[in-house]
């Protein structure tokens, strides 16, 4: 019998060499592990697979990349929150939310999102993805419903979701919870499933079912089994492109920039981060040709003390692979129904020339992409310009000398907690007070 494997010897060797090189640099008592999955998203073929240090299987057997689940942390948010937000919940990349401490009810208990050092205030969906914000992610899932996020993960092929289970003490545990918004799962995900899920974004929104071999053939040449998987459109093409557009920015100039490929004409997108308690590091990214996911952590699930750059490792591997395959260029094809507008990032309205770019704290103008019909139609209504007397710090009157008057742009917002916006918000006190020094 002959098995026609999907593994590509050339690609597998490159991955092995780079992973081993990285692991050799790792010192310390506990042995750091790396797993890797590389898929051709056009057909689901797994071209490379690494389950850890060479020759070392986990104590309990199996392969770290396909048999072991780990918590995805922020890696899950684009799949469980932002994709459904764009695909079905009526949000756009320009929808504005307030990143501020957020309380919600779960299992009858009131919880508050993890306290951040500093909340960002008003942010667009794009900024929430770029900055991996937890509060807006939880708010979003809370508004469109946990079940929707859960269902999208199922469509993406996440096979380790737990709908309902009893633990040893008889408590009901389930992934149908808002923790799904930030990737705290009961069991976690396998690297294989997570990579295949991102591969669907790379594959214009069509599902990717990973396969390891294409067929089984007996000695006489009869095909015993053909391993074919049908792809189905699990989200709109435009959603996949919009998510890819943000993940491109994340990889090219955001926190993932260590993964930026030095190839001008080859587009790449990706996302990275760690799980709660910093037990897992992830980076998963794709070009128009391949999707590769890297996980790193310890078998005993202890906190990671020394950082490995999964991004830099991803970059080395993907650069080399595209080189040997002689792929120099490729882009993610923009769907026909995508349009671009300049918006105000503090309210999501159309940017007003001469106003929004002078927003306090830096320009609030951003070019954003929309599915045609979902773009804003109203102008910005959150920025106002006032003439303020420098001497009194109050609204200027005709009596104030011109050289004492400055024009300032303020943000109209009701602050429910301290955020980065707080210093720029127009106070009702200022609105009501006129300069009385100059008479």
By beta-carbon proximity to Zn ion, the closer residue of 50 and 96 is 96
CB of 83 to Zn ion, least distance (A): 26
Could you say whether residue 158 binds Zn ion (CB under 5 A)?
no
Nearest CA to 196 out of 275, 268, 105, 290 is that of: 290
Q: Residue 400: which H helix or E strand, with range? A: none
Whether the Cβ atoms of residue 110 and residue 104 lie closer than 8 Å to each other: yes
Could you say whether residue 383 binds Zn ion (CB under 5 A)?
yes
Name the pairing type of β-strands 103-106 and 109-112: antiparallel
Q: How far apart are CA 220 and CA 215, in angstroms?
A: 14
By beta-carbon proximity to Zn ion, the closer residue of 323 and 353 is 353
By beta-carbon proximity to Zn ion, the closer residue of 129 and 396 is 396
> Could you say which residues in the range 60-79 bind Zn ion, by CB under 5 A?
none
Q: E strands of 51-129, at which residues?
A: 96-99, 103-106, 109-112, 121-124
Could you say whether residue 400 binds Zn ion (CB under 5 A)?
yes
Residues 6+ apart with CB under 8 A from 401: 438
Nearest CA to 106 out of 161, 39, 168, 184 is that of: 184
How many other C-beta atoms lie within 10 A of the C-beta of residue 306? Answer: 9
Could you say whether residue 382 binds Zn ion (CB under 5 A)?
yes
Radius of gyration of the chain (CA): 25
Could you say whether residue 251 binds Zn ion (CB under 5 A)?
no
Q: Kindly tell me which residue out of 380, 409, 411, 426 binds Zn ion, with binding defined by CB under 5 A.
A: 380
Could you say whether residue 347 binds Zn ion (CB under 5 A)?
yes
Could you say whether residue 322 binds Zn ion (CB under 5 A)?
no
By beta-carbon proximity to Zn ion, the closer residue of 277 and 401 is 401
Task: Tell me which stretch binds Zn ion (CB under 5 A): 12-20, 72-80, 129-137, 431-439.
Answer: 431-439
Q: What is each CA distance from 47 to 138, 217, 268, 317, in whole angstroms?
A: 35, 20, 18, 13
By beta-carbon proximity to Zn ion, the closer residue of 94 and 285 is 94
Task: Tell me which stretch binds Zn ion (CB under 5 A): 3-11, 242-250, 338-346, 414-422.
Answer: 338-346
Binding residues for Zn ion (CB under 5 A)? 344, 346-347, 356, 364, 380, 382-383, 389, 392, 400, 435, 438
């Amino acid at each position: 019998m002959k098995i026609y494997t999907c593994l590509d010897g050339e690609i597998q060797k490159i991955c092995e060499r780079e992973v081993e090189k990285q692991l050799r640099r790792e010192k310390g008592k506990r042995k750091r592990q790396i797993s890797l999955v590389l898929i051709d998203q056009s057909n689901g073929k797994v071209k490379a697979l690494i389950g850890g240090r060479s020759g070392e299987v986990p104590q309990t057997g199996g392969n770290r990349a396909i048999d072991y689940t780990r918590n995805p942390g922020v890696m899950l948010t684009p799949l469980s929150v932002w994709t459904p937000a764009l695909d079905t919940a009526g949000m756009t990349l320009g929808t504005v939310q307030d990143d501020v401490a957020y309380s919600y009810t779960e299992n009858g208990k009131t919880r508050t999102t993890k306290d951040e050092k500093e909340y960002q205030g008003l942010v667009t969906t794009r900024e929430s993805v770029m900055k991996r914000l937890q509060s807006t992610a939880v708010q979003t899932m809370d508004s469109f419903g946990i079940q929707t996020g859960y269902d999208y993960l199922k469509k993406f092929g996440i096979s380790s979701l737990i709908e309902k289970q009893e633990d040893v003490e008889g408590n009901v545990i389930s992934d149908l919870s808002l923790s799904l918004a930030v990737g705290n799962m009961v069991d976690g995900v396998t690297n294989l499933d997570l990579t295949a899920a991102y591969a669907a974004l790379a594959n214009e929104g069509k599902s990717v079912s990973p396969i390891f071999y294409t067929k089984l053939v007996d000695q006489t040449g009869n095909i015993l089994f053909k391993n074919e998987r049908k792809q189905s459109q699990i989200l709109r093409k435009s959603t996949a492109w919009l998510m890819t557009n943000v993940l491109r920015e994340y990889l090219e100039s955001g926190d993932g920039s260590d993964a930026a490929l030095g190839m001008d004409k080859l587009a790449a997108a990706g996302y990275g981060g760690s799980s709660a308690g910093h037990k897992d590091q992830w980076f998963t990214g794709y070009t128009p040709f391949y999707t590769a996911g890297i996980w790193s952590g310890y078998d005993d699930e202890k906190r990671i003390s020394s950082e490995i750059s999964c991004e830099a490792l991803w970059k080395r591997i993907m650069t080399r692979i595209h080189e040997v395959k002689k792929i120099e260029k490729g882009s993610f094809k923009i769907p026909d129904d995508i349009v671009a507008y300049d918006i105000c990032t503090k309210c999501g309205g159309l940017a007003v020339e001469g106003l929004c770019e002078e927003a306090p704290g830096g320009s609030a103008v951003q070019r954003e992409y929309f599915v045609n019909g979902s773009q804003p139609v109203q102008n910005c209504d959150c920025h106002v310009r006032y003439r303020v007397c420098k001497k009194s710090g109050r609204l200027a009157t005709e009596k104030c000398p011109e050289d004492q008057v400055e024009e300032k742009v303020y943000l109209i917002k009701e602050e429910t907690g301290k955020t980065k916006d707080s210093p720029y918000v127009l106070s009702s006190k200022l609105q009501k007070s006129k300069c009385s020094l100059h008479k």
